[in-house]
Homo-oligomer: A and B are copies of this chain.
Amino acid sequence: MAADFETLRVRQDGAVMLVDIAAPPINLLGIQLVRYLVSLMQRAESDEACHVIVFASADPDYFIPHVDVTRISEYREQAARLTGEPSMAILFRRLSESRLVTIAQVEGRVRGAGSKFVLACDLRFAALESAIFSQPESGFGLIPGAGGIQHLTRLLGRARALDVMLDADDYAADLAERYVCTNRALPVGTHVECILMLAHRIAAFPAAGRAVLKARINAIALAPTDDFARDSDLFLECARDPEAQKRIQTAMTRGFQTHEGELALGHLISSV
């Protein structure tokens, strides 16, 4: 099955699908990763024996750092294959509405639209020692356009949402837990087993009640499609701003979108 999705290594473990994101060099949300993510969602949702998906990363340093800023229109076209809308925000909102329960097992760096993918999952657990979070968009004059404003503002409240989005710097798993960006931070060593047990426990319960429950929770906590779409459009507008373009270009010359260069992205941004 792995062959079908190239950038996603897939194993089926009973009713639980285990997915390792493997899009070297840094799991960038580019054309390939978005294409196979769409295919995977279609495949998993059509398999009635599949109830839960666990997303992990094959790269210990990066879960998903952010979108490929050099291919914005192309990866958005891939997203449109599932939703009809060239928008990562709408694609991720669709993931939140899935009948499947999605769990993010976060190790390494999760930033920008990668962070929004994680926020769109139903449950998310961070490896205490290794998970790193950030919304770097402000540093370039961009905004989190893939749903981050919608999720983070509701979860963190106005001041903490402003904090993490204006600061554009990395923060660790313990702060992410205190700020409700993640369900819980779990110590490496036990976290994989904890998540797997939870996934199988949930998958064993009746699907009908689960679907009703998720729909009711989404009715309260999932922002309207229009708000996701508006953020998505504003991201594009901001990205066309010459000042933003200049900052992105400068960042590219300093290692942006490379494995080495993004290890300390908060520092790179402040030097642009």
CB-CB under 8 A from A213, the residues of chain B are 137-138, 143-144, 149, 162, 165-166
Do most interface residues of chain A lie in helix, strand or loop, or is the interface mixed? helix
A244 beta carbon closer than 8 Å to chain B: yes
Q: What's the minimum C-beta distance from A52 to chain B, rounded to whole angstroms?
A: 9
A74 beta carbon closer than 8 Å to chain B: no
Q: Are B201 and A169 in contact (CB under 8 A)?
A: yes
**Given A153-B217, A220-B154, A238-B212; A162-B205 close (CB under 8 Å):** no
A77 beta carbon closer than 8 Å to chain B: no
Residues of A227-268 whose CB lies within 8 A of B: 227, 230-231, 234, 237-238, 241, 243-244, 247
Q: Are A234 and B216 in contact (CB under 8 A)?
A: yes
Q: Are B206 and A241 in contact (CB under 8 A)?
A: yes
A68 beta carbon closer than 8 Å to chain B: no
CA distance A169 to B153 in the complex (A): 28
Q: Are A149 and B220 in contact (CB under 8 A)?
A: yes
CB-CB under 8 A from A160, the residues of chain B are 180, 183
* Closest partner residue, chain B, to A198 (CB atom): B167
Interface residue ranges, A against B (CB under 8 Å): 96, 101, 119, 121-124, 137-144, 149-151, 153-155, 157-163, 165-169, 180, 182-183, 198, 201-202, 204-206, 208-210, 212-214, 216-218, 220-223, 227, 230-231, 234, 237-238, 241, 243-244, 247, 270
Closest 9 CB pairs of A and B: A141-B206, A158-B221, A141-B209, A153-B220, A155-B157, A143-B213, A122-B162, A149-B216, A166-B202
A-B contacts, 20 of them at CB < 8 A, read A96-B158, A101-B162, A101-B166, A122-B159, A138-B209, A140-B206, A143-B209, A143-B216, A153-B221, A157-B221, A158-B222, A162-B213, A162-B214, A168-B201, A206-B244, A206-B247, A208-B241, A209-B238, A209-B241, A220-B227
